[in-house]
Amino acid sequence: MKLAGQLDLDSVADFALDYAAKLGLDEAEVSLHEGTGVSVNVRMCELETVEKHNDAQIVVNVYKNHHTGSASSADMSEAGVRSLLDAAASIASQTGADECLGLADKELMASELYDLDLHHPWGADITELAQLATRCEDAALSRDKRISNSEGANVSTYSGNALYANSHGFRSISSSSQHSLSCSVIAGKDAGMQRDYWYDSDRNAANLDAPEAIGKTAAERAVQRLDARKIDSTETPILFDPAMAKSLIGHLVGALRGGAIYKRASFMLERLEQQIMPEFVTIAEHPHIPAGAGSALHDNEGVATPAYHALVDQGRLQTYVLGSYTARKLGLSSTANAGGVRNLRVSDTGHNFQELLAQMGQGLLVTELIGSGINMVTGDYSRGAAGFWVENGEISYPVEEITIAGNLLDMYQGIVAVGNDTDRRGNTHSGSILVQNMTLAGS
Amino acid sequence: MTQSNFDIVDSTLLAPTGLDGVKLQQVMDKLTGVAGCDFADLYFQYAKQESWSLDEGTVKSGSFNIDQGVGLRSVCGEKTAFAYSENLQHEAIMGAADVVQAIGRRGQDIGTKAAWRPRRPRSVYQPHDPVATLDDAAKVAILHQADQFARAHDPRVKEVMATLAAVYEVVLVVRSDGQQVPDVRPLVRLNVSVIVEQDGKRERGSMGGGGRFDFAYFDTDLIRHYSEEAVRQALVSLQAVDSPAGTMPVVLGSGWPGILLHEAVGHGLEGDFNRKGTSAFAGRLGEQVASPLCTVVDNGTLPDRRGSLSIDDEGNTTQDTVLIEAGILKGYMQDEHNARLMDMPLTGNGRRESFAHLPMPRMTNTYMHAGEHDPGEIIASVKKGLYAVNFGGGQVDITSGKFVFSSSEAYLIENGKITQPVKGATLIGSGPEAMQTISMVGNDMALDSGVGVCGKEGQSVPVGVGQPTLKMDQLTVGGVQL
């Protein structure tokens, strides 16, 4: 595989690691990336903005006697890299020592590096991208006469190269791409306006949903929200649609991060091996899936990722989410999660969306959550929500200006079912999640 | 000021690569050569950032970032073409200008060769370089002080996390009307966050602040205040009971709770949403959108504030803009592009995260003017309700006007008295409706301590908020206790 720009990144990495050695540092690591992208916005079927992106960044981390320093810049010139390492070394001379600081252990480095099919550059020119965005927005605008306005449609494409190398002699170079198509439209007028959107993203533009399908979904979602009501406060089961369900999984991952655990700032503290969810729930990483949004053979420290890594297995918490530093702090091994989790998948209970509605009977279907009302230390949860009131297993009417509240520990234990209506966009895939009673606050 | 901002811009951005008026004109000619070009600009930026973090009593990490580049933009009617270069050599910038020209259709040059007009706006902060003006050991010492003050304040403190950060930015805006406007922007911030533990219960508290100063701003008293305040908030949370759920009167404290205004009205009054008609406030100029007690402004001119700017990122002087006066909607916040298309006055609100982002209308410091009531009187007027004094963050749906913000410190009000602390309640309302229910406004207007970050369309910028104590007769409180 011949990568555009590979020689440049390689020689920058060589120079940086050589210079780090000359500075007498114990260990050093360097992450480089360069990439180009285009973002095209169309609004009311007219070209609105065209942005050309051209990014480059170098990040260096250095270690000396268990002190560390970090520096970053876009400047990959020799003079630039030298001053960057000087700055990092200077910081390391002022920071305090911690035995746990250092590169990840050498024996954990990924040894087998192969192509994960992450690079599918999109050859389309600006005119073609603008045409796709226009088709998408036009489909939304013409879908329903109640669509009154638009925030436009966007097509973005990005392709880049990344290199990670460290003074263990580990080095990895990869190329990747990411493309997306989105549309946001408004239904209704004046005080009754409602906005909604839809999008798709993929490493390969050929796999993106048709622009017309994205536009149509955006329009339907906006129209369905018209005449939303506020409802009375009550205790109710909540069905989180797949996109919202992902946020619940995101809070779990946040609480499992090693940094939050060793600082005792997590509601998941001291819960390893415990049953935190019902037995039918398994949540696992699949880092080696070809062309996956989060696919990688190693983490951000070079540690080999496993093909499968369960965070929650049949409801039991299996692991925290650790890089080398937090692993050492906790006396555990790195879980190859420096930089986060990769291709997280939530098992389903075989129910389709209609069956979940029927199972809930009466309750709230949540399709939007806003605000940041989550206390990661206690798990207390209170967020603004919008969605639909469900009666007799059928969507009855849209609701808005309400909040839903509970505690994440109770919410996870209270999962009743996970749908097979999986949202396959992005790094975390989940179906709808039905949770038993939470408090809905309204009028 | 021994060195002018122009001297700093020249030595930092232009001289190292030999950029001069002739070369800038060549670049500008390409940008204005796009067919139908109404306006073009170059945004040169040098940004140096540094941060240090402490936990477990040790400053374990520090990071340093340096970035520079130039964003090139050509605006034709409603269309914008944009590219940027991280390389400030003339050839590289000309290459980026070619990209902009290729994006727009090449056409007749608008031909207005305005002579370069260097403009020296009044400055609302000093051109400090906070990164350079204190040695690293002294920066580390600030964090150790914060740690010690917090731990000494209460034995229930189990962990202290503190971060000290500084940004030094040098900016030059070069515009197609010939203006060249420099700015040198310092920004510092100290945050202290603690974990307290008692009887197996853990809670967190945070406090911080800063502004467009150098590190001398953080004197011992201020560091102690941040640390002790973080501990106090965490200890209050330890005692907190479940928050009530439902609609009730809500009293918001002064200062940081002004995040209400940022979410409930601020975003909805940004020019872009109103030009496109996608804001709940669109087309409502001159209408009553808040109770007559409310006068809300966006003021970028307050000296040394985190949200302040001498010029916005399009080179326009910042202003004290009245948004709502005695409840009547008076104006929007504008950038060049939206002001031109709406034929409305500029307000100096064109902001961008960096040279690699397009500017758009953004807030600076958004706050409500003081009213007549004593804060004690306001609380005494509530039979049963919520008194919220600290908040985590907020969000708004511009189109429906629905906003939320999440309290991190709140109390029940029972029979006019503050009683129990309650756990994180989320408040939700509709901007134009909620503002109408403001029935009392305090005489204790205060600005926040200088920690606000506002996100819009993926771009983050520092902002300020403020307000006096105020009462809303009806707001939905999202607790768990029915």
pLDDT of residue B481: 85
Q: Are B22 and B63 in contact (CB under 8 A)?
A: no
Q: What is the dihedral of CA A94, A98, A100, A105, to 10 degrees?
A: 40
Helices (H), A194-277: 211-224, 242-256, 258-262
| Domain count within chain A | 3
Same domain, A102 and A142: no
Are A350 and A214 in the same domain?
no
Answer whether residue A21 is part of any domain. Answer: yes
Domain assignment of residue A114, yes or no: no
A258 lies in the same domain as A399: yes
Contact: B476, A56; criterion CB under 8 Å: no
Q: Has the ipTM of the complex gone over 0.85?
A: yes
**Residues of B in Cβ contact (< 8 Å) with A370:** 395-397, 402, 404
For residues A435-439, give the mean pLDDT.
Answer: 95
Question: Per the domain annotation, does A354 fall within a domain?
Answer: yes
Q: Which among A191, A195, A375 is the nearest to B424, CB-wise?
A: A375
Query: Which residues of chain B are within 8 Å of residue A193 when distances are taken between CB atoms?
Result: 278, 280, 399-400
CB A230 within 8 A of CB A399: yes
> Which band of pLDDT confidence, cut at 50, 70 and 90, is reported for residue A5?
very low
Q: For an interface test with B, which of A54, A225, A264 has the most B Cβ atoms less than 10 Å from its Cβ? A: A54
- Extract the tokens encoding A28: 């050093």
Q: How far is CA B353 from the centre of its chain?
A: 11
Domain annotation covers residue A1: no
If we measure between CA atoms, which residue out of A359, A194, A262, A405 comes closest to residue B243? A405
Contact of B299 with B365, CB cutoff 8 Å:
yes
**Do residues A218 and A264 share a domain?**
no
Domain co-membership, A89 together with A29: yes
Contact call for A384 and B78, based on CB within 8 A: no
Taking 80 as the threshold, does the pLDDT of residue A215 lie above it? Answer: yes
Helices (H), A363-420: 408-413
Boundary residue ending a domain (A173, A206, A224): A224
The model scores a pTM over 0.90: yes
User: Does B280 contact A193 at a Cβ distance shorter than 8 Å?
Assistant: yes
- pLDDT of the residue at A4: 42
The verdict on A260 and A354 lying in the same domain is: yes
Q: Which of A197, A224, A251 is the last residue of a domain?
A: A224
Q: Residue A102 maps to which CATH number?
A: 3.30.2290.10
> What is the enclosing helix (H) or strand (E) of A170?
none
Residue B109's pLDDT is 53
Count contacts between A and B (CB, < 8 Å): 254
Do A241 and A346 share a domain, yes or no?
Answer: yes
pLDDT recorded at residue A99:
96
Q: CB-CB: which of B63, B195, B476 is closest to A401?
A: B476
Residue A2 lies in a domain: no
Q: What is the pLDDT of residues A378-397, one digit of tens each?
A: 999 999 999 999 999 999 99
Q: Chain A partners of B482 at a C-beta cutoff of 8 Å?
A: 233-235, 439
Q: Which residues of A touch B397 (CB under 8 A)?
A: 195, 368, 370, 386
Contacts 24+ apart (CB under 8 A), A173-177: A173/A3, A173/A6, A173/A9, A173/A10, A174/A116, A174/A118, A174/A119, A174/A296, A175/A1, A175/A3, A175/A4, A175/A118, A175/A119, A176/A118, A176/A119, A176/A203, A177/A118, A177/A119, A177/A120, A177/A121, A177/A122, A177/A203, A177/A204
Q: What is the pLDDT of residue B482?
A: 83
d(CA A144, CA A221): 11
Task: Give residue B197's pLDDT.
Answer: 96
Q: Is residue A166 part of a domain?
A: yes
Chain A hits for B92, CB-CB cut-off 8 Å, are none
Neighbours of A414 (CB within 10 A): 18
State both tokens at A232.
Answer: 């009375």
Q: Both A249 and A178 in a single domain?
A: no
Local confidence pLDDT in tens for the 482 residues of chain B = 457 999 999 999 999 989 999 999 999 999 998 778 899 999 999 999 999 999 999 999 999 999 999 999 999 988 999 999 998 999 999 989 988 888 776 554 555 566 888 999 999 999 999 999 899 999 999 999 999 999 999 999 999 999 999 999 999 999 999 999 999 999 999 999 999 999 999 999 999 999 999 999 999 999 999 999 999 999 999 999 999 999 999 999 999 999 999 999 999 999 999 999 999 999 999 999 999 999 999 999 999 999 999 999 999 999 999 999 999 999 999 999 999 999 999 999 999 999 999 999 999 999 999 999 999 999 999 999 999 999 988 899 999 999 999 999 999 999 999 999 999 789 999 998 999 999 999 999 999 999 999 999 999 999 999 999 999 999 999 988 88
pLDDT of the residue at A8: 87
Token couple for B96: 């980026």
How many Å apart are CA B205 and CA B191, to the nearest integer? 11
C-alpha distance from B397 to closest chain A C-alpha (Å): 8
Interchain CB distance below 8 Å, A441 and B60: no
Higher pLDDT, A55 or B197: B197
Q: Å from A350 to nearest chain B CA?
A: 31
Nearest by CB to B478, from A90, A372, A405: name it.
A405
> Which residues in chain A are closer than 8 Å to B51, comparing Cβ atoms?
none
**CA of A283: how far to CAs of A303, A304, A319, A348, A381, in Å?**
21, 20, 11, 10, 21
Task: Give contacts of A49 with chain B, Cβ < 8 Å.
Answer: 79-82, 358
* Same structural domain, A177 and A325: no
Range of the domain at A210: 126-224
Task: Look at B406 and A373 and tell me if their CB atoms are within 8 Å.
Answer: yes
Nearest residue of chain A to residue B272 (CA atoms): A151
Compute the distance between CA of residue B431 and CA of residue B262 in angstroms, rounded to an integer.
10
In A167-211, the DSSP E strands lie at 171-187, 194-202
Which member of A51, A68, A194 has the closest CB to residue B82? A51
- Domain identity same for A183 and A284: no
Q: Residue A36: its chain B contacts at CB < 8 A?
A: none
The residue from A57, A74, A108 where one domain ends is: A108
Cα B429 from chain centroid (whole Å): 22
Q: Which two tokens stand for residue B69?
A: 């580049």
pLDDT attached to residue A110: 97
- pLDDT band for position A1 (50/70/90)? very low
Q: Percentage of chain A surpassing pLDDT 90?
A: 95
Answer whether residue A225 shows pLDDT above 80.
yes
CB contact under 8 A, B395 and A49: no
Cβ neighbours, 10 Å, residue B225: 16
Residue of B nearest to A58 (CA): B65
Q: How confident is the model at residue A89 (pLDDT cuts 50, 70, 90)?
A: very high
Is the same domain home to A173 and A265?
no
Residues of chain B contacting A186 with CB distance shorter than 8 Å: 278, 399
Q: Which residues of B touch A404 (CB under 8 A)?
A: 478
Tokens matching residue A23? 């500075």
Report if residue A175 sits inside a domain: yes
Is A91 close to B136, i.e. CB distance below 8 A? yes
Give chain B positions within 8 Å (CB) of A371.
Answer: 393-395, 404-406, 426, 428
Cross-chain residue pair A264–B429, CB shorter than 8 Å: no
The SS3 assignment for B82 reads: strand
Cα separation of B186 and B120, whole Å? 18
Specify if A358 maps to a domain. yes
Using CA atoms, how far apart are residues A379 and A351, in angstroms rounded to an integer?
28
Residue of B174, B191, B130, B195 lying closest to B32 (CA atoms): B174
CB atoms near residue B112 (< 10 Å):
10
Chain B interface disruption, residue of A41, A95, A226, A326, most B CBs within 10 A: A95
Bridge partners (DSSP) of residue A129 are none
Tell me what pLDDT residue B480 has: 87
Interface test with B, best of A40, A100, A193 (most B CBs within 10 A): A193
Residues A238 and A177 in one domain: no
Instruction: Indicate the residue of A380, A384, A438 with minimum beta-carbon distance to B404.
Output: A384
- Mean confidence (pLDDT) of chain A: 95
CA distances in angstroms from B99 to A47, A170, B34, B200, listed in the order given? 16, 38, 11, 60
